[in-house]
Amino acid sequence: DTEVTQTPKHLVMGMTNKKSLKCEQHMGHRAMYWYKQKAKKPPELMFVYSYEKLSINESVPSRFSPECPNSSLLNLHLHALQPEDSALYLCASSHSGSGVNEQFFGPGTRLTVL
């Protein structure tokens, strides 16, 4: 299984809602990532988990809260988002946070904040 899955595919939420994005991989990878991508722009790194511990937080606002319950799962909890947070949110995984290993991406969640 060489797949990263993400749910939901699409999400529309109000600024007062609380929602979560989910990401799962079964490739035995020990590093997982969240990226944010605006239309026609490159992905921007948000968070990196290595061996289930948060290793990189790219100064992301606290309304985004990551969680890594185990080595296969990665969540992104959303609360009190702003319309400018509307974007494609991509999850990725790699063999480890170190070494030059390709990152495998999921299909993304398209988030719209009203």
Nearest distance from C-beta of residue 48 to another protein, angstroms: 6
Q: Which residues contact 32 (CB under 8 A, 6 or more apart)?
A: 23, 25, 48, 49, 68, 74, 91, 92, 93
Q: Minimum distance from CB of 19 to another protein (Å)? A: 19
Q: In this structure, are strands 44-50 and 87-94 parallel, antiparallel, or unpaired?
A: unpaired
Which residue lies nearer to another protein by CB, 19 or 104?
104
Contact status: 10 vs another protein (CB under 8 A):
no
Q: Which is nearer to another protein, 81 or 92 (CB)?
A: 92
Residue 43 lies near another protein (rule: CB under 8 A): yes
Q: Is 95 in the site for another protein (CB under 8 A)?
A: no
Q: Cis link prior to 8 (omega < 30° from 0)?
A: yes
Q: Is 60 in the site for another protein (CB under 8 A)?
A: no
Check binding of 88 to another protein (CB under 8 A).
yes
18-25 sheet: strands from edge to edge = 4-7, 18-25, 73-79, 64-70
